[in-house]
């Protein structure tokens, strides 16, 4: 995936939401159409609960957003997803 050159809006990396007990996910996503997640053309970072993450996945399934980065949050620490390993021939 190519890096985006859009300004990143939403939660800062040190946002209070990151440290809430029920926060489990950090996502950065691109908004394609106006929806509750944001306006078209925005690149947004959000710290989400399980319910919020489920809503984001549903918005992605419907084509409103594309999740560009995801990380799990454990006690305020961001654990980025690792790329899947490819089996060599």
Mean pLDDT, the chain, rounded, equals 91
30: pLDDT strictly greater than 70: yes
Q: How far is residue 89's CA from residue 69's CA, in Å, rounded to a whole number?
A: 29
Write down the pTM of the prediction: 0.83
pLDDT per position as a tens digit, 37-71: 899 999 999 999 999 999 999 999 999 999 999 99
């Amino acid at each position: 995936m190519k890096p985006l050159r859009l300004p990143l809006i939403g939660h800062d990396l040190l946002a209070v939401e990151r440290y809430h007990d029920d926060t489990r996910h950090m996502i950065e996503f691109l908004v394609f159409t106006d929806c509750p997640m944001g306006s078209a053309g925005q690149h947004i970072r959000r710290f989400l609960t399980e319910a919020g993450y489920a809503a984001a996945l549903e918005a992605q399934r419907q084509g409103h957003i594309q999740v560009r980065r995801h990380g799990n949050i454990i006690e305020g620490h961001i654990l980025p997803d690792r790329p899947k390993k490819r089996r060599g021939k």
